[in-house]
Structure formats: C-alpha cells, structure tokens
A = this chain, B = another copy of it.
Amino acid sequence: MERADEGMAFLLRYENVAWYEDGKVRILDRRIYPVRTEYVVCSSHEEVAQAIADMVTQSGGPYTAAAMGMALAAWEAGDMREEKLLEYMERAAHTLSHARPTTVEKMKRVVEGALEETKKLVGDDITGTALAEKLAEYAVRYIDQNYRRFETIGSLLADRIPAGGTIMTQCFAETIIGTLLKECRKRGNEIKLICPETRPYFQGARLTASVACDMGFDVTVITDNMPACVMREKKVDLFTSAADVITMDGHIVNKIGTFQIALAASYWGIPYYATGIPNQAHPDMGSVKVEQRDPQLVLEAMGTKVTMPGVKGYYPAFDVTPPELVRGIVTDRGVFEPGELKRYAEKGLEKNECS
C-alpha cells in the first residue's frame, strides 16, 4: 500500500501517531514527547477512547487513533458474525466518537466510515477477527485520504506566505503543518516559524516545534503571554491554526489561546488563516459543546505543582474566535471568507462529495 507520509517528521509517521497490530493499538504519548519517546498500548477500544480523553494524542491524532480503534474493536469481537458483530461495532463507534465532547461530530465521520465497511462485510459472513484486518486497511486509507486533503490545504496556505516569511502557529496542527512545510520546502521558501508553547500541555513547544525542527526549518518557541508583542517585533506575516470545529457561520473553535492571538493579529493588521474542514453538523455555535478539562492540570507544569494548596484552577480546553477576526478559512475546497462557508457546502454538492 502506498504510504502518503513518506518524508514526514517523526511525529507525523503513521506508525508513530497510532497503529493497530495484533490486537493492540499503540499510540505515541504526545503529552511527553520529545522529553521522552513513549507509547501507550491499548488492548481494547475503550482504552483507545480513554487515551483520547486523556490527551495521549491530539490534533489529527484522535481521528487516526479512533480509526485504528475500530480495527481493535473488530478484533475484540473475535468469532462474532452478522447482526451481533455489527451491534458490537456500533457500540464501539459510539464510545470512540464520544471520547471528547467538542469533536463528537467530526469523530463520527471517521467511525461511520468504518461502520460502512463493516456493513458491507457482515453480509459476506465475516468474523470479527477477519474484519479487524479489513478495518486496519480502512484506517490507513482514511489517513491517506486525510493527508491528501491536507496537502491541498497546506498548498493553499503556502500561497499566502511571502518568500522567507515568518508565520505564527498555535498548538499543534499536525498534518497541516507537515504538508505546509513540505510544500514550502518544495517551493524553496524557507519560512520561519514562531510557536507559542501552548500551556498546559506545551504542544506548540513540544510538537509543532519538533516537526519544524525535524524538517530543518528555523523555529522559535515563545511563552503564551508573548504573541501580541512578538508578532510585531518579529514582523510576523501570517497567523495560522487548525480548528477542532469550524461552524458553518465562520466561528473557529480551537485550542485555548487561539482567540487572543487572533485578536492581537487583528490589532496589528496581520491576517489570521484558520485551516480545516468546515463541519456541516454545526450551523453555528449553538450545537458546539466546549470541553472543560481537569482544573488541576493548569496548576502544574511538566509534572511539577506551581501553586500552593487552596488555589483553584480553571481549564476550558478550547476558545471561540469570532468570524470578524478571521481573514480566511483554508479548506480542502479552497479559501473562504468566514461569512461565505455556504459556498463550501455547495462546492461539495457540485462535486458529489460529502464532508
């Protein structure tokens, strides 16, 4: 099978993100990489869902892990066939897609693809064990398809960066950052990256910076209180982020911090381009549930407590950037202004695709 991730940095290779083999899903523990390179090994799809909830992986990682988790669920089903197997897989799909509340609709797209495969194959009287191999292949096809869509996005984003330009990122945009950097390299555009560290998990410092560093780009990490000051001092040309949800009316739900960087970018007249696939299940913010995480996590840094007992924490996982702060949304079907995402949906219909 052709592997779309060749030439990718360590963090982006399939087998490192999440991988199904012999009744196990192995997930790179991105909470500690590159301080240590360790994997969480899951023996059941429930463990995969728990690993996603616990932030073992994030950005595109949970979707890859959920696809691999469906293969693992089939393996668990063993000798089950037909209706019983399908029911087992439907329950697993629900568990995996509901691992984190904000991204349920997006996760459904992944597991429903695996359920479609399952429905085709149960008619042929396949067992769970045999289905597992088929779903592992589906998972790889899903990832490949994703990489291709994100190659389009990376290329469209690269069009917007001047030669030798400087971009500011937020959190870890996984495949988008990977494909963007590959595209810039291909064009001979040696861009510079400034990565806010992204507390409390430091994804910007540990993950985005690692990918850019692996690929030989000039990358500078700053703390999360610096973007507004630094984007001016370092003449940032463009701010970009992925999105956990893009509503059809142009709101960007993404890692906490995105909103205030977008605000600073707007103040300085620097364009903010969000990237990703708009989610047609979310016409507006009314249907989006923003995840709250364990407040204790903000009271520590790399495992060391930083406050005295009695001090409280608060940890909204995401914030919402309003359309007025977004210059454009870079999608697999082109770049749209936040107010014109209806055209994204229409473009899909023209091409007879579903998103």
Q: Which residues of A pack against B, CB within 8 Å?
A: 34-35, 194, 196-200, 202, 205-206, 209-210, 213-214, 218-230, 233-234, 255-257, 259-260, 263-264, 267, 298-299, 301-308, 310-316, 319-320
Contacts and interface: CB of A to CB of B under 8 A. Distances in A.
5 closest A-B pairs by CB: A225-B257, A228-B260, A199-B223, A229-B319, A302-B304
A24 to B, nearest CB: 27
Given A259-B229, A263-B263, A263-B264, A313 B206 contact: no
A210 B196 CA distance: 26
Contacts of A199: 197, 199, 223-225
Contacts of A35: 304-306
A68 B308 CA distance: 28
A196 B313 CA distance: 10
B228 A299 contact: no
Nearest to A268: B263
B313 A221 contact: yes
A314 B231 CA distance: 12
Number of copies of this chain that the complex holds:
2
Nearest to A233: B316
Contact of A314 (B226, B298, B307, B320): B226
Contacts of A34: 307-308
Contacts of A260: 225, 227-229, 260, 263-264
Contacts of A307: 34, 205-206, 209-210, 213, 221
A18 B287 CA distance: 54
Given A206-B307, A307-B206, A301 B302 contact: yes
Nearest to A171: B225
Nearest to A255: B225
Given A35-B305, A306-B205, A316-B230, A221 B267 contact: no
A290 to B, nearest CB: 9
A345 to B, nearest CB: 28
A233 B234 CA distance: 31
B298 A197 contact: yes
Nearest to A199: B223
B222 A223 contact: no
Contacts of A196: 225
B298 A222 contact: yes
Contact of A306 (B206, B222, B255, B306): B206
20 contacts: A34-B308, A194-B314, A196-B225, A197-B298, A199-B224, A199-B225, A200-B223, A205-B306, A210-B307, A220-B314, A221-B313, A223-B298, A225-B256, A228-B263, A229-B256, A230-B314, A233-B316, A260-B260, A301-B301, A302-B304
A85 to B, nearest CB: 44
Given A34-B308, A209-B308, A306-B205, A316 B220 contact: no
A220 B312 contact: yes
B312 A226 contact: no
A299 B315 CA distance: 22
Contact of A226 (B205, B220, B257, B267): B257
Contacts of A233: 316
A206 B299 CA distance: 10
